Amino acid sequence: MPAPERIPPRSVTADPHAAELLARGELSVRGRIREASNAALFCTVALDGREATCVYKPVAGERPLWDFPDGTLAGREVASYEVSEATGWGLVPPTVLRDGPYGEGMCQLWIEVGADAELLALVDGEEPEPGWKAIGFADVGEGRTALLVHADDERLRRLAVLDAVINNADRKGGHLLPTPDGRLYGIDHGVTFNVEDKLRTLLWGWAGEPLTAEAVEVLGGLRATLAEGGELAARLAGLITPSELDATRARVDALLASGRHPEPGGEWPAIPWPPV
């Protein structure tokens, strides 16, 4: 029997059948990602002679949270992917909800990260250099502070808009995955879609600035497909609650009404901890 064809990550992310491979393929656990706060298993998935690596997060391994219903994080990860796909930006790796060796869970394509992309930095001085956006000052020890900055990168700016829509409460630096082919993906979207404003992110560099024309167009498209009877609304209906779907619509409406990137609200920590 011939060995399955190995599909490089950069190819399978652009493959329209990637979700089918994840959803229907034979899932084999190869190890555990120990630094993850919830159970996250490194796996391979194989179907019809094709194979890829992926992450499988079973619902049974989710750690209870006081502000999110138990057993809902996997569905929120899939919902984030669905919204990302609806934007056309492709910022979240292919993600599905499926049964696996430890029960139902989220299955997401594994992304190989490029080594040469610098998206975050600590710098001296009060203002960022050209090409960078300020996040805030960080304690670096011995009574010293440094300015934490992120790249002024259109890929990050798109991700900042997506995070505002899905109400991402945990956009850390370690969740940013630049690839060798120049793409950027965001991962770990379990704490999203809360009805309350919980946006916590390192991507505050555009706070209060006007949205790009591209972002306004994308948000207009989201508004249409999130409406009652819209395709995205139907996809999200089985993944988040009706009140969370309504809150998502309201966030899109608010972004379009203001025409600007959101600013920290003050009632919730603006930056996740640890930030990386």
Pick 183 or 117 by higher pLDDT.
183
User: CA-to-CA distance for 276 and 263, rounded, in angstroms?
Assistant: 21
Query: pLDDT tens for residues 52-107?
Result: 999 999 999 999 999 898 999 999 999 999 999 999 999 999 999 999 999 999 99
Given a cut of 50, whether residue 8 has pLDDT beyond it is: no
Kindly give the pairing relationship between strand 26-32 and strand 95-100: unpaired
| pLDDT value, residue 11 | 42
Least confident of 34-38, 50-54, 209-213: 34-38
What are the residues whose beta carbons fall under 8 Å from the beta carbon of 146, sequence distance 6 or more?
Answer: 122, 123, 124, 137, 138, 140
Contacts 24+ apart (CB under 8 A), 123-129: 123/147, 123/149
Q: Over 50: is that where the pLDDT of 2 sits? A: no
Cα separation, 59 vs 49, whole angstroms:
28
Mean pLDDT, residues 143-165 taken together: 93
How many helices and strands, by DSSP H and E, does the chain display?
7, 11
83-105: b or e for each residue (b if 16 or more CB lie within 10 Å)?
bbbbbebbbbbbbbbbebebeeb
Q: Tell which residue, 175, 155, 158, 153, has the closest CA to residue 222.
A: 158
Strand-strand pairing, 5-6 and 50-58: parallel
Alpha helices in 180-230 (DSSP H): 213-226
Q: How many CB atoms lie within 10 A of CB 164?
A: 22
- Return the amino acid letter for 3: A
DSSP 3-state assignment of 60? helix
- Tell me which residue has tokens 């609650």: 241
Lowest mean pLDDT among 65-69, 137-141, 171-175, 195-199: 137-141
CB-CB contact of 100 with 39 (8 Å): no
Q: What digits encode the pLDDT tens for the residues 216-242?
A: 999 999 999 999 999 999 999 999 999
Mean pLDDT value across residues 105-124? 88
Cβ atoms of residues 149 and 121 within 8 Å: yes
More reliable by pLDDT, 217 or 267:
217
